[in-house]
Amino acid sequence: MTAVNLEYLLNDLPVAWTTTLPVGGVTVGGVHFDSRAVMPGDLFVAVSGGSADGHAYIPSAVEKGAAAVVGTREITNLPVPYIRVADTRKALAYLAAAYYRHPARKLLVIGVPGTDGKTTTCNLMFEILKEAGVKAGLISTVNAVINDEVIDTGFHVTTPEAPDVQKYLARMVVAGLTAVVLESTSHGLAQHRVTACEYDIAVVTNITHEHLDYHGSYEEYRAAKGRMFSELARTVQKPAGNPRLAVLNRDDSSYEYLANLVTVNQVSYGIDAQADLTAHTIISDQTGVDFVVTDGITEVRTHCNLPGRFNVSNCLAAIGAARGAGIDLATAARGITRLQRVPGRMEAIVLGQPFTAIVDFAHTPNALKVAIKTAREMTRGRVITVFGSAGLRDRQKRRMMAEVSQQQADITILTAEDPRTESLDDILAEMADAATAAGGVEGVTFHRVPDRGEAIRTGLKLAQPGDLVMACGKGHEQSMCFGVTEYAWDDRTAMRAALAELLHLPGPQMPDLPTSA
């Protein structure tokens, strides 16, 4: 990108601002919220939140050559223009969008919020667009895809920060793409990471129990998800047209709330409820799920390579979004079949063992419940689960997930899952108490194994021919946090390492964690 006039960026900013020094003639070569990334001539935005306050890094940014600074506090002694706003995160999003010349206004933008199933639904929609001949990009919590380039979006990730989102969108425009599927988490919505993304179609998967540590209540969490649907009415007019469609899950408790919130066109989908898009004749096994999708007029037989009845709901969500993009039912069904797998989502690890080994991202009570239900569809043997619950996050989930597994699985192994600065022993004790209260017997129906590698080994050693062992909660993630340090970790690598040991085959080494013996 070439340097952009700061006055242009500020005049385009739809929030009130003041400046300590004139901005006329000042140009900026980039927009950053991390002072370590600032280069001479950049604009530094002091973002507050989490464990750091960006205002503390203003001197460092100026010393590194920042041309101007944006913040919320009263500061008068800077040698460069200091632009004061009420909300730096909101300003950051709009400034980044303006810096990259508003790329979302040149794309059909499909946003996917929800608790569970977002990444899968995004990938399904991505394949549908490609099947329809649309030049599309993808930004998810796993990666960003621009033509043949796949960009890792990080270790522990929610939606990428606003400057990265806008940068990816700008690159898609330059690459000649005309549409993008954007996974939009509640953090991404609440923290304005996807503000100024000019959504055309919004697709909700479901809204269940998650992130209440951050949002405070289910109602606030739901409201964060709902923000995207409110924003649909404010999307600017685009040369390619404005579908402005909300795709809502009639089976989910969020339906009435979102349906009343939406002021643009909407389409509903569901399996168990009357909806605009429905599915019947559902058959699920290890090869995936087959079903018939209907819009009340046309019926199309569809195969999804991802197993589980819950993936039918994800497919219907993607097909609903396809309707907004002008894609017919038959083409959408062919697009569904294109998707072979999603990293870390019911991903089978096969080394020739006489039982099934799965890695899945299920990290909420609802996701764990449907994952175990799907596991039942995939095996006639026992279901053995291995999972934990994150530290410094929603504590209610610990008990709920332990209860779900005790009630639904045959054997539960409780282990580490990003304990952060909390005591791992205390987290496991809370979960063990919940499992016991649900009728579990420690050492029989559930076990505590703090080291995650050893926990996976234990699950595999307990497995008999025909059983299914499922490591949940990490999925595609590439690290695990102990204290404030991220240690390299991948459940898929760990599962392969443990299977190789068990079968006396060559394989990867089990990753080390602070809990490793």
Q: Look at residue 93 and tell me if it is in a domain.
A: no
Q: Answer yes or no: do 127 and 240 share one domain.
A: yes
Task: Quote the CA–CA distance of 429 and 245 in Å, as a whole number.
Answer: 46
Residues in the chain where the model's pLDDT stays below 50:
211-215
Q: Answer yes or no: do 473 and 442 share one domain.
A: yes
> At which of 54, 87, 120 does a domain end?
87
Q: Answer yes or no: do 47 and 128 share one domain.
A: no
Q: Answer yes or no: do 487 and 378 share one domain.
A: yes
The beta-strand segments (E) located in 228-351 are 245-249, 265-270, 277-285, 288-294, 299-304, 347-348
Q: Answer yes or no: do 258 and 390 share one domain.
A: no
Please give the C-alpha separations between residue 394 and each of 46, 98, 184, in angstroms, as whole numbers.
28, 36, 20
Task: Quote the CA–CA distance of 474 and 454 in Å, as a whole number.
Answer: 15
pTM: 0.86
Q: Look at residue 98 and tell me if it is in a domain.
A: no
Nearest partner of 205 among 127, 313, 322, judged by Cα = 313
The CATH number of residue 173's host domain is 3.40.1190.10
Q: Is the dihedral of CA 324, 329, 334, 336 positive or negative?
A: positive
Q: Answer yes or no: do 397 and 327 share one domain.
A: no
The CATH number of residue 486's host domain is 3.90.190.20
pLDDT score of 211: 47
Range of the domain at 403: 347-503
> At which of 289, 321, 338 does a domain end?
338
- Within 10 angstroms of residue 275's Cβ, the number of other Cβ atoms is 21
Q: Is 370 left (phi over 0), alpha (psi -120 to 50) or beta?
A: alpha
DSSP symbol at 35? G
pLDDT score of 2: 79
If one counts the domains in the chain, the total is: 3
pLDDT score of 393: 82
* Cβ neighbours for 221, distance < 8 A, ≥ 6 positions apart: 186, 207, 210, 211, 212, 215
Structure tokens at 347: 């991903």
Task: Quote the CA–CA distance of 68 and 87 in Å, as a whole number.
Answer: 17
Q: Is the dihedral of CA 334, 335, 339, 345 positive or negative?
A: negative
Q: Look at residue 513 and tell me if it is in a domain.
A: no
DSSP symbol at 54? G
Q: Answer yes or no: do 77 and 107 share one domain.
A: no
Q: Look at residue 279 and tell me if it is in a domain.
A: no
Q: Look at residue 226 and tell me if it is in a domain.
A: yes
Size of the chain in residues: 517
> At which of 87, 113, 143 does a domain end?
87
Q: Answer yes or no: do 110 and 212 share one domain.
A: yes
pLDDT score of 210: 53
Q: Answer yes or no: do 264 and 168 share one domain.
A: yes
Residue with tokens 């819009």: 295
Q: Look at residue 96 and tell me if it is in a domain.
A: no
Task: State the Cα torsion 270-276-282-286 to the nearest 10°.
Answer: -70
What residues does 53 pair with on adjacent strands?
A: 48
Task: State the Cα torsion 110-343-382-352 to the nearest 10°.
Answer: 150
Q: Answer yes or no: do 72 and 215 share one domain.
A: no
| pLDDT tens by residue, 327-376 | 999 999 999 999 999 889 899 999 999 999 999 999 889 889 999 999 99
* Cβ neighbours for 225, distance < 8 A, ≥ 6 positions apart: 113, 114, 186, 189, 204, 207, 254, 258
Angle between helices 329-338 and 309-324 (to 10 degrees): 130
Q: Answer yes or no: do 226 and 252 share one domain.
A: yes
Q: Look at residue 351 and tell me if it is in a domain.
A: yes
Q: Answer yes or no: do 431 and 363 share one domain.
A: yes
Helix (H, G, I), strand (E, B) or coil at 248: strand
Task: Quote the CA–CA distance of 468 and 504 in Å, as a whole number.
Answer: 20
